[in-house]
Structure formats: structure tokens, C-alpha cells
Amino acid sequence: RPYSTGFDSGSADSVCTLVEGVEGLIQVTTANGPFAGSHHLTMDDSVNGGSFSTNSASLKVNASTQSQITLSFRWKHFSDETHTQDGVFISGNGGASFTKIYDLNGGSTPANQWQNVTIDLDQAAASAGVGLTSTFVIRIQQHDNWGITSDGFAIDSVTVN
């Protein structure tokens, strides 16, 4: 602790695991306006109107001796990001099971505008009955069936401290 990334190396680091769904597309890219620096992470579908895809970016952190731990990041959606699968999830068992703690719902925010998201992980974990363990995982998840800029979202400036 702390952990932070702006994806400016042009790729995800070893702490961040990216998983694409069936037609998913996750990219560390310069396209579509990063919040800061030169790159950001985008998640969308590789086939417009095809099958729905669930993509995720997971951070594994040792939270067993931590208190007052916060996750913050910048997020923007490109349009139509209103699925219940969109959000931030946590796991205290290394990713064997996850609990949703925050909706990433584009229905209430303007498209293509960066939003600051800050989550008190101590409070969220306690409310969800999830322990802050040595195998704590934070997952940012996106679900859709259209590519950017019709759908999908981007994240940048991720910090856990």
C-alpha cells in the first residue's frame, strides 16, 4: 500500500488482472480521451450488436493489516451503460466469490464525461460481510454488447490507499 496506476506504461501491471468476456475487448489505449497522462483502460464489446460480454479488471491487494483503505478512480461511460452487472465488486477469498459494492451506472451521468469514484473499502467490506484479507480482490466489471463509442466504459487514475 498504496497502489496506483494510470496505465501510462501502455499496459496493465502485474497487480491488475484483465479478463475479457466472450466477445469482450479490453484495451490500454490512448484513444477516446484518457483522464490524465497518455493511456487509460477501456472495456467494451468487439462485435456491435453481438452477444453480451462481461469484462473485468481485478486488483489483488493484501488488506489483512489495513484500515481506512480507500479505492478511488476516474470513470466514464460512452453510452447505454445501465446493466446490473456494471460495477465494483469485492472478494475476501481470492476471487472465489464476489459481492457488488458500487454501481457503475451511466443512466444518471452524462456520457463521455469523467466522474470521480471514491469508495471507503472498510465500510463497504463491513456492510457486505467481506473480510479485509491477504487475498482481497477489487473487481471493476463492465457488461454490454456494443463497442465504444455506442457502449462501454473507461477507467483511469486508479488508487488504493
> What is the rounded distance in angstroms from the CA atom of residue 161 to the CA atom of residue 159?
6
Q: Residues near 68 by Cβ (< 8 Å), separated by ≥ 6?
A: 122
Write the pLDDT tens digit of every residue in 7-48: 999 999 999 999 999 999 999 999 999 999 999 999 999 999
C-alpha cell at 144: 454490454
Q: What is the pLDDT of residue 74?
A: 98
> With 80 as the cut, is the pLDDT of residue 1 above it?
no
Cell of 66: 489495513
Q: Which residue has the higher pLDDT, 110 or 125?
A: 125
Which residues fall within 8 angstroms of residue 123, CB to CB, at 6 or more apart? Answer: none
**Cα 125 from chain centroid (whole Å):** 17
pLDDT reading at 105 higher than 90? no
Is pLDDT of 80 > 90? no
| Residue 93 DSSP code | S
